Amino acid sequence: MPASLSTPDRRDIAALILLAFLALTATSAMAWFVTERIPHLEDEMTYLFQARTYAEGALWVPAPSGPFFTPFVVDVDGRWIGKYPVGWPAVLAQGERWGLGWLVNPLLATLTILLIYLLSRDLFDRQVGLLAGLLALSSPFFLIQSSSYMSHSAALLWVTAMTWAFVHAEGLRREGQTGQWWAALAGLMLGMLAMTRSLTAIGIVLPFLGWLALEALRQPRQIPAIVATYVPMGLITILVAAVQPLYLTIVTGSPNTNLYTMIWEYDRIGFGPDIGRSGHTLEQALTTAGLDLGLWASELFGLPHTSWLILLVGLVALWRRSSNVERLQHVSLLVLPFITLVGVHLAYWVGAQVYGPRYYYEAHSSLAIIGALGLVGLGQLLAKVIQRVRPMEEAARERLRAALPFVLCGLVLLVNLTTYLPGRLDDWHGLYGIVRAPIDQLETLRQSDELLVLVRGGRWFQYAALFSLNSPWFDGEVIVAHDNDPRRTAALRALLLDRETWFYSEGQFTREPAPYN
């Protein structure tokens, strides 16, 4: 890491402001117009439930007796809790506290783009930093993850911040200085990642541990310095990650409780006939990974089936511009995390194609940097070709070399905007038929402050939009419940006589329930 790039100057500040504006504008627009600030997956509904619970200073709510249901929420001795780790819901809770939960991921995504710039600049130069930021924020993969209620955007921020801090810690250690504070920051980020997505944390940390082991083998005299620098990182990681088993102990009585298997007994990591809906084998895992990687090849930069080509050029450029030691470090920190993420997720029985191949998303920052190197490498090659055809002076040649990578980046964006992204936006808007229209319609119909809405339909996507209005305690302005059993519906109405009541079925609001089958 060049020491001269440690402190941002005016050029850095200008680049950061530009990237922040573009990232926040794009992701906020996605959240407002495409995902419409409502959950579209069962996971998102659970995250919202947990976040709203934590926002009120509680770890659980009393299990309701009425016709209420939230996906992936379990009853543990009368305590209603979501199955997911506490890391992401605790962050989302800060937005839900102000009624702005939908804006949390766009803000985290914007911070991630800024860190991508800083990391790229510190490893390479400002040109790579700006290109990496532009590639990352224009990616369809980035746009959908950053506008949802899923945990991957937060996890990517933790990974990017950890990598940046680790690079600083290593730079100082190799100069004979102490990098403990940077290592401590890396430990905090790794702990947050473990509290957010534990399997992802394993996949991400393996290459970093490999790099340190390689450094110890290569330079045995550096072992004391390595230990002194990274002991704080390990301790802080353990302390932060320990929040999850502490939480489980409080809410379930045991730090080892697997809340996932309380929903589906087969929802575990590993291989065997009792894992997954119909067993899980290595052959099935490789097939699933192939499907996910096939989608990733388009989703990464929005180039149909060919986004990976930019990475190939980037790997060549990375190899050519780095010394032997730098190559090892760059491969360990930028290339291997993607490979290990794919590898560890082979052990999970289900793939993830809705919202993109999201189990691989936490490598997005490093892949954007490699892609930026690819654009720079292609730009340099084109500049040489142009120079041979039309010789020019050194100053003009340098301007051309500086401009061509951004022209290529613009072409990538143009292909994305004209051939790939529009179709994906159509896929994501109204996913599973979930739209904001019922919420807006209810606002025009309501005549009082307190409402009871009874929704017909047993499938989660039939009630997802309206159920997002619920408080975990079902005590807010709007209470939304199921209308599948006339006796339970009548009992609930009798209990809440003071509330204006509406029934919702097949896209229509009525004052009385539709006939029961």
Residue 73 within a domain: no
Cα torsion 196, 200, 202, 205: sign: negative
Last residue of a domain, one of 335, 369, 396: 396
Spell out the SS3 assignment of 204-241. HHHHHHHHHHHHHHHCHHHHHHHHHHHHHHHHHHHHHH
Residue 61 domain-assigned? no
One pLDDT digit (tens) per residue for the chain, 517 residues: 444 346 778 999 999 999 999 999 999 999 999 999 999 999 999 999 999 999 999 999 999 877 777 889 999 999 999 999 999 999 999 999 999 999 999 999 999 999 999 999 999 999 999 999 999 999 999 999 999 999 999 999 999 999 999 999 999 998 888 889 999 999 999 999 999 999 999 999 999 999 999 999 999 999 999 999 999 999 999 999 999 999 999 999 999 999 999 999 999 999 999 999 999 999 999 999 999 999 999 999 999 999 999 999 999 999 888 777 788 888 889 999 999 999 999 999 998 888 999 999 999 999 999 999 999 999 999 988 888 888 888 888 888 889 999 999 999 999 999 999 999 999 999 999 999 999 999 999 999 999 999 999 888 888 899 999 999 999 999 999 999 889 999 999 999 989 999 999 989 999 999 888 7
Q: What is the pLDDT of residue 4?
A: 37
Q: What is the DSSP letter of 63?
A: P
Token pair belonging to 274: 């009792």
251 & 362 share domain = yes
CB 283 within 8 A of CB 348: no
Residue 15: phi, psi to the nearest 5? -65, -40
Instruction: Please indicate, yes or no, if residue 409 is contained in any of the structural domains.
Output: no
Cα 398 vs. chain centroid, distance in angstroms?
38
Q: Is 463 helix (H, G, I), strand (E, B) or coil?
A: helix
Q: Which residues of 88-126 are buried (b: 16+ CB within 10 A; e: fewer)?
A: bbbbbbebbeeeebbbbbbbbbbbbbbbbbbbbbbbbeb
pLDDT at 5: 44
Instruction: Report yes or no on 60 lying in a domain.
Output: no
Tell whether 369 and 457 lie within a shared domain: no
Q: Are residues 441 and 326 in the same domain?
A: no
- DSSP string covering 331-386, please? IIIIIHHHHHHHHHHTTBS----TTSSGGGGGGHHHHHHHHHHHHHHHHHHHHHHH
Based on the fold, state whether residues 317 and 459 are members of the same structural domain: no
Where among 377, 396, 415 does a domain terminate? 396
Supply the pLDDT for residue 6: 61
Considering the domain architecture, whether residues 247 and 311 belong to the same structural domain is answered as yes
Cα(56)–Cα(232) distance, integer angstroms: 33
Cα separations in angstroms, 143 against 58, 67, 148, 489: 32, 36, 9, 40
Cβ of 75: how many Cβ atoms within 10 Å? 13
99-105 CB contacts, 8 Å cutoff, 24+ apart: 101/48, 101/51, 101/149, 102/31, 102/32, 102/37, 102/149, 103/28, 103/31, 105/27, 105/31, 105/145, 105/146, 105/147, 105/148, 105/149, 105/150, 105/153, 105/154
pTM of the model: 0.95
Half-sphere exposure of 157 (CA within 13 A, CB side): 21
Q: Is 286 exposed, middle or buried (0-12, 13-18, 19+ CB in 10 A)?
A: exposed
208 domain-assigned? yes
Are residues 495 and 392 both part of a single domain?
Answer: no
Last residue of a domain, one of 370, 396, 422: 396
- The answer to whether residue 325 is domain-embedded is yes
The whole-angstrom separation of Cα 256 and Cα 158 is: 24
The arrangement of strands across the sheet holding 73-76 comes to 61-62, 79-82, 73-76
For residues 508 and 438, is the Cβ–Cβ distance under 8 A? no
Q: Is 65 within a domain?
A: no
Greatest distance between any 2 Cα atoms in the chain: 86
Number of domains within the chain: 2
If asked whether residues 241 and 324 sit together in one domain, one would say: yes
What is the rounded CA–CA span in Å between residue 12 and residue 130?
9
Q: Which domain holds residue 366?
A: 3-34+85-396
Same-domain check for residues 343 and 478: no
| Burial class of residue 195 (count of CB atoms within 10 Å of its CB; 0-12, 13-18, 19+) | buried
Same domain, 342 and 447: no
- Reduced to 3 states (helix: H, G, I; strand: E, B; else coil), residue 247 is helix
Same domain, 372 and 452: no
Short-list 106, 104, 109, CA closest to 48: 104
Query: CB-based burial of residue 337 (10 Å sphere; 0-12 exposed, 13-18 middle, 19+ buried)?
Result: buried
Which amino acid is located at 441 in the chain?
Answer: Q
Let me know if residue 329 belongs to a domain.
yes
Give dist(CA 285, CA 346) in Å, integer.
5
Q: Are residues 367 and 461 in the same domain?
A: no
Query: Are 364 and 309 members of one domain?
Result: yes
- φ, ψ of residue 348 to 5 degrees: the values are -100, 135
